[in-house]
Structure 1
Amino acid sequence: MKELKLLKHGERVRLEYAPPPGATEGAMGSSTGEERPDGQVSGVAKRYRKDRTVEGFPQALGWIKATYKEAIEYTGMTKELRGYGFFLAVFGGVVGFGAGGLFVLTAVVDALRDGTVSAYLFNFLFMLPAGLIALAFALWITLFGLRVDLFKPTDLPIIFDRKHGKIYRILREEQPGWRGLFKPWPVLACEYEWELVDAEHEAEILTTGATVVRNHFLMFIVRKSASDPTIIDSFQIANASSLSEHLVPAVWEHIRRFMEDGGPHLPSLTEPLANMEAPLDWWHSVGATGPFGPGYMKRWNEQPGYMWFMHLALPVTLPMFLLWGTGNCLSYKTAITVDWPQEVKRAVGPSMKSEPV
């Protein structure tokens, strides 16, 4: 088990947020209402104030993994989400390499078969470059997806410590760009000052051409210091698959009440902690990520509509979740165990309630 050194507030600047060469201002600007106005459909939908209650009932959505006397610990990834990067890597790689290879082959064959100048110009100036771009994109998707899920820590948790006004976080520092795919991704432990972290509801609009989806995120923006609002880091609680427009403020409200108003560790006494126990084998990983695997009949009893939909689309859903489950299993098999620095352990004390890791 690897114990990490704790980096104090401001000692780490996220690589993508560092000032560009020759510049003095951070690449992400400043965390102020002027530079980050809210009310946007895509972007910052709402900037929250720590002294103001938001609408909705506080919720944690099962993302809290442990409680301490004056602190709560959120998991960075629930077990059903592990393996998704592997799924995207394999699926995206197959589609990308197939499309890119088809474009390249078509360009060469058509140009040689036609033999005209116009055919050569069209195929070698348009079709061939498009195919090479698709191949490069497929390679990037494959390598990045595999790196995201394999040989990663068992968890990337976040602790909110109200006694000392701190946030502690374990993260894996992804290296940006093509070169970053072949560099080490170090695991770090960081400490942030609660008063220097701003909370935002951010939205992102995605379109597939046929439909438009609006994803929602609860983001925490880290300022450099009390006198310098330059953004040096950011992180999120939960993810878009478990959040919605109305759930983001509910999750924030629980954290706000806990840190600011002495609120409870869990929104309700009946809310369970995140189950951090690793699946026993590949079949249990399949069950953790989708409708198949252990618990199959129980899901039919509890979620018949969901199960009917998944089985109507069985030619798509079965290979999808078998692949996702395979990635989940490999992610756990290659996982690296890390531990909080002793300074964090002394600050929060022993866990009062936690699920097995």
Structure 2
Amino acid sequence: MLFTAPLLDKPAPGWKHDLPAPNESPSTEPYPLVLSNPPNHVDGVYLELARATMRVRGVGVWLTPFICLLSLGFPATVVAFAIKDNNAPPASLVLVALLGFITASWLGTYFWRMDTQAPRDEPIRFNRARRKIYVYRFHHDGLRPFSRTAWGVRVDVFDWDDLRAEACSIYGPMGSGGLIETVTLAVVKPGTHQVIDRFHFAHEIQQGEMYWAMAQLFMQQGPQALPTFTRPPRDWNNEDVRFNLARRLAPKVQWPVEIDLESRTAP
């Protein structure tokens, strides 16, 4: 069942419709040929699905050198002006150069860190025995691109019953404009529709609905309810990344030892 009015407070940006709750019947049937990746792992205890907040990687690392050169161009202009006129440059020129240098440095650092510091995969584990999910989650802060504490991987643990899935679509800055579709997962305060956290789940609504349906089927019925995938799981940590500098520099997935053991086992 798809809901025509938002159930959550507040709905996700670009809300389109809500997907069935965790213990309701799935709204669609997973079709392996449509899904971009098979599960990373599935057994009687847990299901692990691949996840990526960025759809395209490898552009930022090549943009960064040009942005750095651009940032140096602003103070170089001020110096050249001062040498040419043998006098102090106008305050307005210094201010513009300073703002340009800061903006270019901010953009270059942000693009570089987003491309190279995000892990190769951001998997999510659904533990049927514990009725919990474990999210390997890359946190970043665009307002603090130079911060060490605001950037990095943390594992978040949530109760399965507190999850809600939402389909969203927004128009992004893609030249003349482009529609970006996603499925996000929200965590609600138990017994309410109040959202306490929200994170990306899948790109494209159709794929997101199918992956959500897989999670529902696994948590409700077990691994035997999942479709059969002909392709083997992708080894994100050891894939061939020679031709993608961003993925080559990206850190491998490494779960904290205690969380790794808990997320893969029954109580």
TM-score (norm 1): 0.56
Larger deviation, residues 97-106 vs 250-259: 97-106
- Aligned positions, number: 253
8 Å Cα contact 2:136-2:155 kept in structure 1: yes
1:138 Cα deviation from its structure 2 partner: 2.8
User: Aligned equivalents of 1:212 and 1:202: distance in 2?
Assistant: 16
For the aligned residue pairs, the C-alpha RMSD in angstroms reads 3.9
Specify which of 234, 245, 248 is matched with residue 326 of structure 1. Answer: 245
- Other-structure match for 1:267: 227
**Mapped pair 1:33 → 2:4:** no
Is residue 232 of structure 1 aligned with residue 193 of structure 2?
A: no
- Cα deviation for residue 137 of structure 1 reads 2.9
Give the conservation status (yes or no) of the 8 Å contact 2:75–2:101: no
Q: How far does the alpha carbon of each residue in 1:266-303 deviate from its partner, in whole angstroms, 9 at most, with x for none?
A: 43342432233514xxxx4235xxxxxxxxxxxxxxxx
1:70 shift after superposition: 3.8
Partner of 1:213: 178
Judged with a 3 Å threshold, the aligned counterparts in structure 2 of structure 1 residues 99 and 189 are, in CA distance, closer, same or farther, namely closer
Shift in Å at residue 72 of structure 1?
A: 0.9
1:85-104 aligned at under 5 Å gives the runs: 87-88=59-60, 90-102=61-73
* Deviations 1:36-88, CA, capped at 9 Å, x for gaps: 458xxx6112211232543565454215211111421013459x96xx36x41
Other-structure match for 2:263:
344
Counterpart amino acid of residue 44 in structure 2: K
TM-score w.r.t. the length of structure 2 is 0.72
8 Å contact kept, 1:201–1:219: yes
Amino acid at match of 1:75: A
Separation of aligned partners in 2, 1:336 and 1:146 = 19
More displaced stretch, 197-206 vs 154-163: 154-163
* Aligned twin of 2:218: 258
1:67 aligns with 2:32: no
Q: 1:46 aligns with which of 7, 13, 17?
A: 17
Per the alignment, residue 99 of structure 2 pairs with: 133
Matching of residue 198 in structure 1 with residue 164 in structure 2: yes
Q: Does the residue aligned with 2:217 lie in a helix, a strand or coil? A: helix
Match of 1:285 in 2: 241
1:163-202 matches, cutoff 5 A:
163-174=129-140, 177-178=143-144, 181-183=147-149, 185=151, 187-202=153-168
Hey, which of these two has a bigger chunk of helix by percent? 1
Distance in 2 separating the partners of 1:128 and 1:43: 41
Pick from 208, 213, 220 the counterpart of residue 248 of structure 1: 208
Structure 1, unaligned runs of 5 or more: 1-31, 288-324, 349-357
State the match for 2:3 in structure 1: none
1:64 match: secondary structure: coil
Instruction: Name the aligned partner's letter for residue 235 of structure 1.
Output: F
Q: Deviations along 1:307-332, whole A, 9 cap, x unmatched?
A: xxxxxxxxxxxxxxxxxx23322325
